[in-house]
Amino acid sequence: MLAFDIERSGGRTCDDTIAIGASVVGPDLTELDSLFLPGYFGKDQTHWEEACWEEFWSEHLVTLTLLVYNGDLTKAERQREMIKRFQLFRSKWERIAQDKGCKLELVSDNNVFDGGFINQMINEHYPDALPIPYTSNVGIHGNKSQNYKRFWETHSEQRGLLMAIDPEYKKGGGYARRIEELYQIPPSSRLHDHDPSNDAYTIAREQQILLGIRDGRFSRGGLPISITIRCSRITFSVSCGLAVGLLCGGIAYFVTE
């Protein structure tokens, strides 16, 4: 499982991506590799969305100092280097997975935000490349074709799962910890703390937990859960109850059994 996370100075296309993190985590929740790409050039050289600075980063200055780039490149050069190294990291693990006969999945906790701005960087610096969810355009062993792959999103999956197995849980966050409690999984040793390498690890770990629930590697009280998913056109059951979105032209609801 390869997860990535970015930190931004705002949510507009004119704002800056100030760091990228990535992490590869195996089914046993062990981190196999990681990537940290700081790209913050200081407040005066960064295009800030006012609310992003005032309401968040001005209160997280210690974390912000970790994102400072101390190299010799210009800001534009560093942006190109960041996306190239990110694509090389993806390409390396795509090759490793292929050689080992394994499936490498890609995940973020917000596909629209993180995936959207990564794709903006890909489009700017590799205009002929296909964006995520296609595989990397930068080949470790020369150029390679790009293939369409799945792109998971943890927050949507976690909310869907909790709607099915714990519908009374109404909080606007804390989904990962609630799932860990329900399935008696020890909490992560690393926090989601806006260091993108830490955040990427927690995202990859959370996705492995979700897939483990789906596949029966994690269960509540040692017993697998069956969830019947019904909509206006189809009815089917899935073991271990990972609730996902349905494209069935009707309203779906979930019944735990």
Of 147 and 141, the one with more pLDDT? 147
Residue-wise pLDDT tens digits, 183-200: 999 999 999 999 999 999
Residue 40 forms part of a structural domain: yes
Strand ordering across the sheet containing 31-38: 31-38, 17-25, 2-8, 106-108, 151-153
What mean pLDDT value characterizes the chain? 86
| Total number of domains in the chain | 1
Residue-wise pLDDT tens digits, 203-240: 999 999 999 999 999 988 644 444 444 444 433 334 33
Q: What is the pTM of this model?
A: 0.85
Residue 170 forms part of a structural domain: yes
- In terms of Cβ atoms closer than 10 Å to its own Cβ (0-12, 13-18, 19+), residue 15 is middle
The contacts of residue 149 (CB under 8 Å, 6+ apart) are 105, 106, 133, 134, 135
Residue 27 forms part of a structural domain: yes
pLDDT of residue 144: 65
DSSP, collapsed to helix, strand or coil, labels residue 76 as: helix
pLDDT of residue 115: 98
Residue 188 forms part of a structural domain: yes
pLDDT at residue 139 above 70?
A: no
Residue 236 forms part of a structural domain: no
Domain carrying residue 164: 1-222
Residue 218 forms part of a structural domain: yes
pLDDT at residue 3 above 90?
A: yes
pLDDT bin (cut points 50, 70, 90) of residue 242 is very low
pLDDT of residue 221: 64
Give me the mean pLDDT over the 248-257 stretch.
35
pLDDT of residue 137: 81
C-alpha–C-alpha distance, residues 47 and 30, integer Å: 37
Residue 7 forms part of a structural domain: yes
CATH code of 81's domain: 3.30.420.10
C-alpha–C-alpha distance, residues 57 and 60, integer Å: 5
Residue 254 forms part of a structural domain: no
Lowest mean pLDDT among 74-83, 108-117, 149-158, 247-256: 247-256
C-alpha–C-alpha distance, residues 234 and 116, integer Å: 32
pLDDT of residue 69: 98
